[in-house]
Amino acid sequence: MDYDDDWGHGDYGDYGMGGDSDGSFDDVRRAAGAGSESDRSLSSPDGAAADEAARARAAEPKKSSVFSLKQRDGWSDGSSVTLRHAAVGGGVVVLAGVDSRSDGVVIQWDTESAAAPRVHKVCGADEVVHSLFIDPTGCHVLACVRAKNSASPGTASTYYMHATRPKKVREFREAKGVLIESVAWDEETVGAEDTDKFLAGASDGSIFEAQLTTKKEHCIVHKWRLVTRLKTGAPLCGLHFQRLAGRKGEPVSFFAMAVTSDPNSTPSMTSLYMWTGGDTFDRLLQPVNPKPNLPGSLPNSELRLYHKPDRGRHSPFFGVLSQVGIYHGRVQPSARGTKVADA
């Protein structure tokens, strides 16, 4: 590796190593000697000051990290898969990629089970997995596939896999021709056999309502219908909804959020939508204006929500991945409206 010969000989100004100095150890020592009395006391022969500083640092409260990592035993079936997508739910990791034969595959790995991961072929070499989703229970998996050389929705197909049954991949024929970009599950009602109602966001700004049930080796589609389409027609790259706690005797109402990333607008932008109220998705997802609009767009922009255990689901935090950074805050949804705090 080639290095710049002038490295280390620039203008260091007040650091005492510029001008005529040759950058020797004596220069560094003299520069260090210009420090304060407290700095010099750390090098005292008896080391008392250093010990005192060490005790002070040890007494400081330890900061907890945002993330923690735990290594899990891997696996190998002798094949080579280039991974493109990953999703996690209910202790199950699903991965999508391309194997050594250039086929598109989905891997289901139950991290709490000793059983080997299950590998499903979902498409051939002329197609790719566009998006991958798993529900909070880890039972229901959706993989949206499209032509390798075209992002046209007309080439899209969606496939369904269950954690235990059916063993074969089932095509979700009702969703054919829809390029799914996001899925929002009902975390309170989704079960091992029935997805209950969930929402799917498409590449053209459409939002669909769907429901699937598995019985033995069969997948039954109870519902797949268009609810609304955002007027911008931008890809719905993030989607979330939840039920609102109402007073006793009041009908169920919903809160929903969506994020679109529009590279074709002038200027390009990422938009955040919010809806509150309505006991059905039709009543909930009425036309609204986005708030806010963030500059720039990313093809992989995302929306994520987090609920603190002590607050339940009533005041979730959210984060939006955008071209200019992460826009985050906290929402306080209620049947009477939604407040956005700390954004």
Separation between Cα atoms, residue 64 and residue 151, nearest integer Å: 43
Q: What is the DSSP letter of 194?
A: B
CA angle 249, 197, 169 (to 5 degrees): 160
Scan for tokens 């991965």, then name that residue. 95
Model confidence band, residue 195 (pLDDT cutoffs 50, 70, 90): very high
Separation between Cα atoms, residue 127 and residue 123, nearest integer Å: 6
For residue 94, the model assigns a pLDDT of 95
pLDDT of 284-313, one tens digit each? 999 998 888 889 998 889 999 988 777 666
For residue 312, the model assigns a pLDDT of 64
Query: Does residue 217 carry a pLDDT above 90?
Result: no
Taking residues 252-260, report their average pLDDT: 92
Query: Does residue 104 carry a pLDDT above 90?
Result: yes
Taking residues 207-213, report their average pLDDT: 96
- Domain limits, the chain: 79-229, 230-343
Model confidence band, residue 185 (pLDDT cutoffs 50, 70, 90): very high
Taking residues 109-133, report their average pLDDT: 93
Taking residues 26-35, report their average pLDDT: 40
Query: Torsion angle of alpha carbons 127, 129, 130, 132, nearest 10°?
Result: 160
Taking residues 150-178, report their average pLDDT: 90
CA angle 274, 342, 229 (to 5 degrees): 15
**Helix, strand or coil, per DSSP, at residue 234:** coil
| Nearest Cα residue to 239 out of 268, 269, 210, 278 | 210
Tokens of 312: 């339940």
Query: Does residue 17 carry a pLDDT above 50?
Result: no
| Nearest Cα residue to 304 out of 269, 243, 257, 253 | 257
For residue 73, the model assigns a pLDDT of 65
Which positions ≥6 away from 212 have C-beta within 8 Å? 140, 160, 172, 194, 195, 219, 220, 221, 222
For residue 90, the model assigns a pLDDT of 94
Helical H runs in 60-189? none
Query: Does residue 75 carry a pLDDT above 60?
Result: yes
Check: CB of residue 49 under 8 Å from CB of residue 42. yes
For residue 166, the model assigns a pLDDT of 67
List the single range of 3-12, 55-64, 97-106, 119-128 with lowest mean pLDDT.
Answer: 3-12
For residue 202, the model assigns a pLDDT of 97
Separation between Cα atoms, residue 245 and residue 311, nearest integer Å: 13
